[in-house]
Structure 1
Amino acid sequence: MSLDADQIVERRRLRRKVTFWRTLGVLAAVAALAVGVASVAGDSVSASSPHVARVTIGGIIRNDRARVELLEEIGRSRARAVILSIDSPGGTVTGSEQLFDALRRLAEKKPVVAVVEGIAASGAYIAALGADHIVARRNALVGSVGVIYQYPNVTELLKTVGVTMEDIKSSPLKASPNPYTPTTPEARAAVESLVKDSYAWFKGLVSERRKMSDDKLATVTDGRVFTGHQGLDLQLVDELGDERTARAWLAREKGVPENLRVRSWRTREVDSEFGWLLGAARGTVAALGFPQAAEFLTQTARGALERAQLDGLLALWHPRTNG
């Protein structure tokens, strides 16, 4: 009889544990669903009615076919104008080029104004160049015109552990540079030619779109970032302000009523192949009553994952830290 009683107690404990984890799972799922529903339901303005489209460019810029298709869809919609809200340190050169080209095609159909909310550096500034008008907050960061190619070299580390990497190549510059052998002068020169070629393209884009003198172009293309206030004098931006400033410019220059409602457009795809994992983590933490911690977790993890997936030539502002 005692054994039966112990079994009953143990079963009840097990049932309570299962119920707890099931409830937690349901709460996490509901929280994640609520986030998704809120992001979709937040825009009550129909794409088939006149409106101002808002597109957000944030995080690391990479090749993104879904975003290109989104911009093409906006071009076919009844949007009267497009506000490009930017807060990004840049990304890959090809991803930034793809975004710029898509924005210029869109600008042929509808006026596009960029609003730099926090930072539009490197590849993100390339995106801003795709707009007809650039507005920046007074203390936003803009510029960082330049290209970088980074790769680690662990030659000395391998020596300390007694490891030697050997390879058989079809030619001296195949797979060069690589992290396992010292970089040869020929390999360095080959990479430098890539960087210089992309840098010349970037400088030409700035010169063409911003109509700068040679002296001013030399100043803004040395790799530095500038505040919006500095960028105004250097012709990197057209006005200081925010989205209201952009709406006023659209009304003044393009005849788009300032009272026309804004619709935020988003791609239907998650940010990365790890999006489901980030969403689940965010939902669980939020369900436990820590929404700010959930947001911090999501942004930190997303930034780390995006940077880890970058490769090739970069138009990216990343301040170095010592220590």
Structure 2
Amino acid sequence: MSLEPDLLADRRRLRGRLTLWRGLAILALFGALALVFGSGARDALPGAQHVLRLPVSGTITEDRRVLEALDAAATDNSVRAVLVAIDSPGGTMAGGESLHTALARIARHKPVVAVMGATAASAGYMIAMPAQRVFARESTVTGSIGVLLQSVEISQLLDRLGIQPQVIASGPLKDQPSLFRPLTEEGRAALNRVIGDLYAQFVAIVAAGRHMDPERVRTLADGRVFTGRQALEAGLIDAIGGEREARAWLAAERQVPESLPIRDIETRSRAERLLSSATESIMKTLLSEWLGVDAPLAVWQPAR
């Protein structure tokens, strides 16, 4: 015997309320725990020996908390080695430089290995340079050694629309490049000098990291990407493989046992992790039990 439509609707509303209050209760619990432990306190790196993994994904920018964690790892005796897991198409030059410098400081005291995933290009390739051993998959896309500056100029479009931008600049190069007027020869020359200097820095980083002659690096640093196999042939990486091969190399060449656990670098406070866990739990509850079940059925019910 089927239930009346009004009774079904009441049951769904009741379940929705219960789910909401359940989520609020979970949030309140984690909030209380966060207050107990303190929002400002940070966990120290675990005392047991381990390999520290630094996952790098997405666009690379400068992250103060990551840099501080890496500086702490450089002098932490429980960190036997650092494994940099890269899956990034690149990012800002300054972001790549900051990570490269921090990893280079660690490499002076303990082993650093880099493992490239699907992509490790441009700044994603740069941050692998302090590693004593660089691994990539055969199909990894890497390289793209170079610097890029892009801009758009829409003055002709604005003319057609009858729009006349008014720009007041302190000098002829202050608004170069500009959306509102073509790049001048003087502006192009100035920007070329900036790009040229950044490019020279990138080439020097690769030359030092790969123990290559800078002229050899320049023949490879025309912005092209390489597969992992091509990069190995060109000397841009050391071996084909992933994390398993990196751990085997650490054990054989740097006496870092493969039995040691791997721990991801953690830059969030205990309170942030608790709140993040609470939020994730609430969202899963709401989406799976409330939105995922009741809402679609309340909106659309196929006729039987």
TM-score greater than 0.5 by the shorter chain: yes
Residue 234 of structure 2 corresponds to residue 238 of structure 1 = no
Moved over 3 A (4+): 15-19, 24-31, 213-216, 279-287
Q: Which amino acid aligns with 1:123?
A: A
Question: What's 2:16 paired with?
Answer: 20
CA RMSD of aligned residues (A): 3.3
SS in 2 for 1:106: helix
Question: What's 2:210 paired with?
Answer: 210
Mark the CA change 1:234 to 1:180 in structure 2 (over 3 Å): closer, same or farther.
same
Mark the CA change 1:21 to 1:93 in structure 2 (over 3 Å): closer, same or farther.
farther
Provide structure 1 residue ranges, at least 5 long, that are not aligned to the other structure. 1-8, 35-45, 270-275, 294-323
> What is the CA distance between 1:205 and its match in structure 2?
1.3
Mark the CA change 1:287 to 1:216 in structure 2 (over 3 Å): closer, same or farther.
farther
Q: Which amino acid aligns with 2:58?
A: G
Is contact 1:29–1:283 with CA below 8 Å preserved after alignment? Answer: no
SS in 1 for 2:128: helix
Q: Which amino acid aligns with 1:105?
A: R
> What is the CA distance between 1:250 and its match in structure 2?
0.7
Q: Which amino acid aligns with 2:261?
A: R
Question: What's 2:164 paired with?
Answer: 164
Question: What's 2:146 paired with?
Answer: 146
Mark the CA change 1:144 to 1:29 in structure 2 (over 3 Å): closer, same or farther.
farther
Is contact 1:216–1:234 with CA below 8 Å preserved after alignment? Answer: no
Q: Which amino acid aligns with 1:87?
A: D
In the superposition, the TM-score normalised over structure 2's length comes to 0.76
Q: 1:149-193: per-residue Cα shift (whole Å, max 9, x none)?
A: 112222122112111112232221122211111111111111111
Query: Which stretch shows the higher mean deviation, 100-109 or 214-223?
Result: 214-223
> What is the CA distance between 1:83 and its match in structure 2?
0.6
Mark the CA change 1:198 to 1:30 in structure 2 (over 3 Å): closer, same or farther.
farther
Question: What's 1:198 paired with?
Answer: 198
Mark the CA change 1:26 to 1:59 in structure 2 (over 3 Å): closer, same or farther.
farther
> What is the CA distance between 1:16 and its match in structure 2?
7.7
SS in 2 for 1:63: coil
Is contact 2:86–2:124 with CA below 8 Å preserved after alignment? Answer: yes
Mark the CA change 1:88 to 1:50 in structure 2 (over 3 Å): closer, same or farther.
same
Question: What's 2:37 paired with?
Answer: none
Question: What's 2:262 paired with?
Answer: 262
Question: What's 1:57 paired with?
Answer: 56
> What is the CA distance between 1:28 and its match in structure 2?
9.2
Is contact 2:85–2:115 with CA below 8 Å preserved after alignment? Answer: yes
Provide structure 2 residue ranges, at least 5 long, that are not aligned to the other structure. 1-5, 31-44, 270-274, 293-304
Q: 1:69-97: per-residue Cα shift (whole Å, max 9, x none)?
A: 11112223211111111000110001110
| Counterparts of 1:250 and 1:133, CA distance in 2 | 9
Is contact 1:54–1:83 with CA below 8 Å preserved after alignment? Answer: yes
Is contact 1:58–1:87 with CA below 8 Å preserved after alignment? Answer: yes
| Counterparts of 1:213 and 1:200, CA distance in 2 | 13
Mark the CA change 1:89 to 1:25 in structure 2 (over 3 Å): closer, same or farther.
farther
Q: 1:183-216: per-residue Cα shift (whole Å, max 9, x none)?
A: 1111111111111110011111111211224664
Query: Where do 1:88-237 residues align within 5 Å?
Result: 88-213=88-213, 216-237=216-237
| Counterparts of 1:98 and 1:59, CA distance in 2 | 16
| Counterparts of 1:139 and 1:287, CA distance in 2 | 39
Mark the CA change 1:170 to 1:232 in structure 2 (over 3 Å): closer, same or farther.
same
> What is the CA distance between 1:286 and its match in structure 2?
7.5
Q: Which amino acid aligns with 2:96?
A: S
Question: What's 1:296 paired with?
Answer: none
Larger Rg: 2
Q: 1:208-255: per-residue Cα shift (whole Å, max 9, x none)?
A: 211224664233201011111110111110010011110111111111
> What is the CA distance between 1:287 and its match in structure 2?
4.4
SS in 2 for 1:129: coil
| Counterparts of 1:179 and 1:281, CA distance in 2 | 42
